[in-house]
Amino acid sequence: MTVKPESYSADITVWKGYQKILFRISFIFFITMSIPTGVEWYNRTLALDWFHPNYRDIYDIARFLPDMPFIDHYQKGFKSYNDWLVLFIIAIIGGLIWTAFDRKRKEYNNLYYWLRVIVRYRAGIGMVGFGMQKVFPVQMAFPPIGILNTPLGDIPMQKLYWWEIGISPYYQVFTGFVELTAGLLLFHRKTTFFGAVLLIVALGCVNYVNIAYDGNVHVYSTYFVVFGLFLLVYYARDLYHLQIKEQFTVPQHYYPSFSKGWKYTRIGLKSLNIFIFLILLIPLQYLNFVYDPYNQPSAPGVAQLRGYYRVTEFKLNNKVIPFSPVDSVRWQDAAFEKWSSLSFKINLPVPENIAERMPDPKVRRYVDNTGFGFNSGAPQRDIDRTYEALASNRRAFYYRVDTLNHVLYMQDKSTYLNAKDSLRSQSKDPRDRIYAEDWISKDALKNMVGEVEAIPSWGRSTRRTRAYSKKSPKDKLRDHMVLKYTALNNGERVILSGLNENSDSLYVVLEREKKNYAIPTIKLVAGSKTYKTKEQ
C-alpha cells in the first residue's frame, strides 16, 4: 500500500492581515535604506569623471548608508544605528497610515517583487564592491617595516586584525571571492537564496570581527546582513514546511508579466549594472592594486634608504642624548618604507584606550586611530594615508626628496588639529607656528618628482589629480622637518642632519639592521609596479 505524502502549497493570492501590515512597514523601511540620503553622495557622484575614473569612484556609488542630517554617525555600540532607528520609526508610522487608507487590498505580490529586486541589487553591488577590494588585496595590506618592529601592545585593535589578514594575502583573496560570489548570485533572481545565505555568512563574520576588534565597519556589514535576512524571509515558509514539517512542498513564486518595452528596459538596466560594477570595476581595481593601493602610500621612496635602522647616535642642538627607552625626544629606531615615509620610535604617553585620539597638547601628537577615518573616503594624497602612522609610540613622516642635493622635506602624518582646535594658530610658541607654503624652495622643487606624477600614468585618475590640486589648510599645521641625508655603503649607514619640527638642530646616525622576520616574503604585494620606480 502506497501512502501519499502530506503535501503543502502556499496560497499567495490572499495575504493575512498581519502580513500586509509587516510588508507596508518593510517596504518603507527598505526603500529608504536603499536610497542614498546624504548630500555628499550626490556631490561625489555628479563630480565623477567617467573618462578617467578611479576604482573608488565606482565603489563610492555603491558605498552609502542612511544619513540623517541631525544624527551623530559612526559611534561605538548601539548608537551607531541611530539612523536606522529613526527610519524604522518613520516606517512604522508610514505603514500604519498606509494601512488606514488601503484596507481592501488582498495582496502586494507585485510591490513585493519590485522591493526584492531593489534589495537584491542594492546588496549585490555592495557585495561586489566589498569583495573586489580583497580579490585584489588592497584593503588589508602587508604590514610596513615600522609596524613589524612595533610592540604588539602599541598597535590599535582594529589595525592588529587588519595586519593579521595582510600577512595572508591569499586568504584575503579567498574572502574576496566569497563576497564577490555572493554579490553576483544576488544579481540573478533564481540564485537569490544562495547569494543571501553567502552574504549573511560572510558579512556576519565581518560584523563579529569589527565588534571584537573595536572596528567601525560593523555598521556597514550589519546593513547588508539585514538585507540578506530580508531576502531569505521569502523562502522561510517553504523551507519550514519542507525541512521541519517534512511535507511535500510546491513553492509558489510570483513573477510579473513584462511588456516588450519593460523587458528591454529590464535588460538594459541589468546590463548597465553589470558593466559598471563588474566589467568596469575589475580593471580599475587592478590598476589600483598594482599602481596606487588606496590604503598605503603610492609614491616610491628613496630606494637606497629602504629598511630598518638602529639609532646609534642622536644629537639635539649639538648635545649628545644617550639611549633611554623612556626618553620622549631621542629616536630609538627608524624605518624607511618602500614608499615615501620615515617612521621612528620614541616614548610617548599611551592613553588608556589607544584607539582614541590623544588630545594632550604636551604630547604634540593628534592621532585618529579609530580606523574609520583611516579607511573612509580612501584619501588620494600620500600624506593623508596614515597606514604606517597608526601605532602608539611611533611617529611617521611623509617626505618629498630633493634628489640632487639629498634633502628630505618631511611632514608629520599624524599631527594635525581639527577645525575646532585653533589654539595652534593663536600661539606664540614657535613650535606652534603655521608653516609657510614656500617652505620648500623653488630650486628644490625642480629636483623633485611631482606628487601626481609619482606613479605611472596608467595608475592616475581625475580623483587623484583633483586631490593634489587642492591646498589643504591642515598642511600648515603639521610638524615639518628638513633633513639632509648621507647614505654610506649603499645605505648600510645613514646620517641625517638638519632642523626638526621645533627648529632645533638634529643629527642622527642610523645603522641598518638586517632582521629575519617570521613572516615569509609575499609576492602578492599591492603597489608592486609603483615601488620598482626609483626617485634617484
- pLDDT tens for the chain, 536 residues: list them: 444 556 766 667 788 999 999 999 999 999 999 998 878 888 888 889 999 999 999 998 988 888 776 666 555 667 778 888 889 999 999 999 999 999 888 889 999 999 999 999 999 999 999 999 999 999 888 889 999 998 888 888 888 888 889 898 999 999 999 999 999 999 999 999 999 999 999 999 998 988 888 777 888 899 999 999 999 999 988 888 888 888 888 888 888 888 878 888 888 999 999 999 999 999 999 999 999 888 888 889 999 999 999 999 999 999 999 999 889 899 999 999 999 999 999 987 654 443 444 334 443 333 333 332 333 467 889 998 888 877 778 899 999 999 999 999 999 987 554 433 445 555 666 656 678 888 999 999 999 988 888 888 888 899 989 988 888 877 888 889 999 999 999 999 999 999 998 889 999 999 999 888 888 777 888 887 777 644 43
Distance CA 314, CA 531 (A): 30
Range 357-364 contact pairs with CB under 8 angstroms and sequence separation of 24 or more: 361/423, 364/415, 364/431, 364/479, 364/501
Using CA atoms, how far apart are residues 57 and 458, in angstroms rounded to an integer?
Answer: 16
Q: How many alpha carbons lie under 13 Å from residue 375 in its C-beta half-sphere?
A: 18
C-alpha torsion angle, residues 250, 253, 254, 255 (rounded to 10):
-110
Phi, psi of 449 (to 5 degrees): -75, 135
Residue 495 near residue 478, CB atoms below 8 Å: no
Residue 418, helix vs strand vs coil: coil
CA–CA separation, 41 and 471 (whole Å): 22
What is the pTM assigned to this prediction?
0.86
Reported in sequence order, the residue ranges of 326-476 that DSSP labels E, i.e. its strands, are 333-336, 341-345, 394-402, 407-412
| Rounded Cα–Cα distance for residues 264 and 196 (Å) | 27
pLDDT of residue 29: 96
How does strand 248-250 pair with strand 7-9?
parallel
**What gap in Å lies between CA 237 and CA 251, rounded to an integer?**
9
What local confidence, expressed as pLDDT, does residue 257 receive? 83
Chain-centre distance for alpha carbon 506:
36
Helix (H) or strand (E) run with residue 96 in it: helix 82-101
Closest CA to 402 of 439, 360, 457: 439
